[in-house]
Structure 1
Amino acid sequence: MKLNFLAAIGLVAAAALPAQAQDVTTLKVHFFLPPTSFANTLFIQPWCDKVAKESNQKLKCQLYPSMQLGGTPPQLYDQVRDGVADIVWTLPGYTAGRFPSIEAFELPFMMQSPEATSKALWDFVQLHGQNEFKDVKPLAFHVHGDGVFHMSGKPVKSMADLRGLKLRAPTRQTNKFIAMLGATPVSMPVPQVGDALSKGVIDGAVVPYEVVPAVKLQELAKFHSETDPKEAAFYTATFIFAMNKAKYDSLPADLKKVIDANSGQALSGQIGKAFLQADVEGKKLVSPASVNVIPASELATWKQLGNKLAADWVKDMDAKGLQGSKLLDDAKALIAKHAAAR
């Protein structure tokens, strides 16, 4: 009788709670950078705030930055697929070769506007990559701003400056390009960069300025070498913001609408724009005297190597039965389309 009485009290108390409190769905959001990173402050947290507001606080995020749910950055995609996390933000390129079509956007000198290229990337996946990402519900795809060389020993002014150096790069195609430029590529996720630089494991890293505060590159790198801003970026990386399919399917129709309204091409472009803003903020942290620009005249030789890498990638895709030339042509056309619409 005592247990039944207590259970009855519990039911009465639950009934007395506001309906809103009972209907809250908490989304576990997992990512690899710290909460102070620009990725979180300019994109992830604002997205969560917007979703909460538009759902009348029925959707709320519980953030797990810096891999707090365990695992490593390359495991994030499988974590959202398997339901360890409800939403993740990660790089498809952290699992080399697993998502081949999207690599078209990671080839050298493809991207000049992160906003336009991110919109193009979303459209591209709808055309060519849906099967690759069928195990999750993509909310957005995006790229970051221009890659920058952050070096510990000397600035990069030409290919000759890279010979014999160990350089961190994020993705399969960027690693190949770094090798073509004469450096030894070292593949590692961003969170490992600071420690690797401080211990001399690498001589430098290629990342955009937005990453600077997250790994303290303003303290660890003495030189920051950009490529001519009038030229397309010598590299960018692709990202996915994805939701567990079962979690999405479990939502009532009104909350699905909120998620749908905050995903897709428009969100992808907004994230790309946020990352461009993050580059501006990140660059403010480094000394202007430590920055140099690699001129277009030098980049002309780099572009020839980039074209060779693209041709090799097309052959690789053809060997996989993926129509490499069409993938590359469509990527370029979509980038140009969205750039023209800006």
Structure 2
Amino acid sequence: MTPSRQAAAAAVIRTAAIAVAALSLVALAPLGRAGSAAAQEVTLTVHHFLSAKAVTQAEFLEPWAARLEEASEGRLAFEFFPSMAMGGAPPELYQQARDGVADIIWTVLGYTPGVFPRASVFNLPSVHGGSATVTNLAIRDLMDSGALAADFADVHPLLVHVHSGQALHTTAVPVRTIDDVRGLKLRVPSRSGTWMIEAMGAEPVSMPVPELPQALSRGVLDGAFIPFEVARPLRVIDIACCHTELAGGQRFGTTTFLLAMNKDRYESLPDDLRAILDAHTGPDFAREAGRIWDTVEPQVMDMARQRGNEIIRLSPAASAPFLEAFQVAEDRWLAEAAERGLDGAAVLAAAKAAVARHADEAPE
């Protein structure tokens, strides 16, 4: 090759090298944001036991996921699997989150008895703050203080929350006194619910809530303790004749729910995505969950009235024997906590104090 051609070739090589370097700089410049975003996009599976139309997914989880997707500029995405679409039975959801079968699950603490001995205090009818908002914020206080941390060591809890409280829905017997309950077969919402029902002289029957409509229709059950919010998607308001609550609208306790993420999956997220997730699972999230459930409850009660169902609110005198059953459940919870070596009295006192602190946030 002649010197002139060698020079020309060298110039071409230098030009090409400069172009490659320039392209490399262009490619590297966004790696702190868009380039890494493409490499760090995360789709999280969300598994639960209710239908896609239930309040849990349609009004609670989907809007939450949309906010996270927006805050992460599309780097976080969510794929929902309602009605146990990923397989298994509702009592297996906690294990699925723990073992990584699903990234995120929403479940009932009572489906895995004994796993949440501290947090189960919020199932007690004597603890429930009369609204989901009040009780959710009380739970959040105890979560933030670490009082409940040992219960959730094997997963990453995103939210522990309750619904607005359980009314008693019966298919044939209007419940106006505790005598009306005696001998009835009633679906039990939790272990402490079993104690409450037994103290009322009724027969507790344990089953996941999706099985409830068929059990009521076939007479396997005479009634169930669930909120109206759940009674709507399960069509219990179409099956039941009557719905009972206590004086002042007090309910028969509540059910405590868990929105949890597989621990390894959470810890594998990039730091900035973990920060976004954390920012959207704080006290405001607990407050919003409470508002959603507290808003839906009276709406479904109106639907039941429009169907001609009877809404029964007991007098203080008629409520008193039920409150005695509440105390029996509390005493048994304390005894069981002591058998486990837990200071149940301290947990119970902390829960009641937290509920009292947030009492002014109850809906009017």
TM-score by length of 1: 0.90
Instruction: Give how far 1:215 is off.
Output: 0.8
Which residue identity does 2:255 align to in structure 1? A
| Residue type of the alignment partner of 1:186 | V
CA contact (8 A) 1:140 1:265 kept: no
2:218 aligned partner:
199
Q: Determine which of 253, 268, 282 is the counterpart of 1:235.
A: 253
Structure 1 residue 88 corresponds to structure 2 residue 105? yes
2:57 aligned with 1:37: no
Match of 2:116, as an amino acid? Answer: F
Q: 1:7-58: per-residue Cα shift (whole Å, max 9, x none)?
A: xxxxxxxx9xx85555421110001100000111121111111111111011
Question: Cα offset for 1:204?
Answer: 0.9
Q: 2:177 maps to which residue?
A: 158
Match for 1:326: what amino acid? A
Is the Cα contact below 8 Å between 2:49 and 2:210 reproduced in 1? yes
RMSD between aligned residues: 1.7
Deviation at 1:312, TM superposition (A): 2.4
Are the structure 2 counterparts of residues 212 and 312 from structure 1 closer, same or farther at C-alpha, using a change threshold of 3 Å? closer
From 268, 277, 284, give the equivalent of 1:250. 268
Secondary structure of 2:147 counterpart: helix
* Letter matched to residue 105 of structure 1: F
**CA–CA distance in structure 2, aligned partners of residues 148 and 48 of structure 1:** 30
Q: Which residue of 2 aligns with 1:114?
A: 132
Check the 8 A contact 1:142/1:269 in 2, yes or no: no
In structure 1, how many angstroms separate the alpha carbons of the residues matched to 2:217 and 2:121? 33
* Letter of the 1:170 counterpart: P
- What letter corresponds to residue 39 of structure 1 in structure 2? T
Amino acid at match of 2:155: V
- 1:75-126 CA-to-partner distances (Å, cap 9, x unmatched) read 1011011111111111111112221111211112322121011111122234
Q: Does the CA-based 8 Å contact 1:96-1:172 persist in structure 2?
A: yes
1:73 corresponds, among 76, 90, 98, to 90
**How far off is 1:265 after superposition?**
2.8
SS of corresponding position for 2:303: coil
8 Å CA contact 2:40, 2:270 repeated in 1: no
Conservation of the 8 A alpha-carbon contact between 2:91 and 2:112: yes
Of the candidates 220, 226, 230, which is equivalent to residue 239 of structure 2?
A: 220
Q: Does 1:338 align with 2:338?
A: no
- CA distance in 2 between partners of 1:114 and 1:90 (Å): 16
Unaligned runs of 5+ residues in structure 2 are: 1-26, 28-33
2:188/2:207 contact within 8 Å kept? yes
Contact 2:126 2:330 in 1 (8 A): no
Match of 1:7 in 2: none
The equivalent of 1:98 in structure 2 is 115
> What letter matches 2:327 in structure 1?
N
Following TM superposition, by how much is the alpha carbon of 1:200 offset from its aligned partner in structure 2, in angstroms? 1.2
1:341 Cα deviation after fit: 5.8
**What is the CA-CA distance between 1:237 and the residue it aligns to?**
0.9
Partner residue of 1:4? none
| Percentage of pairs with the same residue | 37
Rounded to whole Å, the distance in 1 between the matches of 2:105 and 2:248 is 31
How far apart are the structure 1 equivalents of 2:302 and 2:74?
36
**What residue in structure 2 maps to residue 5 of structure 1?**
none
Deviations 1:202-233 (A, max 9, x none): 111110010122211122112112223354x3
Moved more, 199-208 or 104-113: 104-113
**Is contact 2:169-2:243 (8 Å) kept?**
yes
**C-alpha distance in 2, partners of 1:30/1:236?**
22
Relative to structure 1, is the Cα distance of residues 230 and 191 closer, same or farther in structure 2, using a 3 angstrom cutoff?
closer
Tell me if structure 2 keeps the 8 A contact 1:97–1:172: no
Alignment: residue pair count = 325
- Work out the CA distance in 2 between the residues paired with 1:243 and 1:45: 16
1:304: which partner in 2?
324
- After the TM superposition, list the runs of 4 or more consecutive aligned residues in structure 1 that deviate by more than 4 angstroms: 18-22
Tell which structure's C-alpha radius of gyration is larger: 2
Structure 1 residue runs of 5 or longer lacking an equivalent are 1-14
TM normalised by structure 2 equals 0.85
Q: Which residue of 2 aligns with 1:9?
A: none
Q: Are the structure 2 counterparts of residues 341 and 38 from structure 1 closer, same or farther at C-alpha, using a change threshold of 3 Å?
A: closer
Asked if the contact 1:167/1:185 (under 8 Å) is kept, the reply is yes
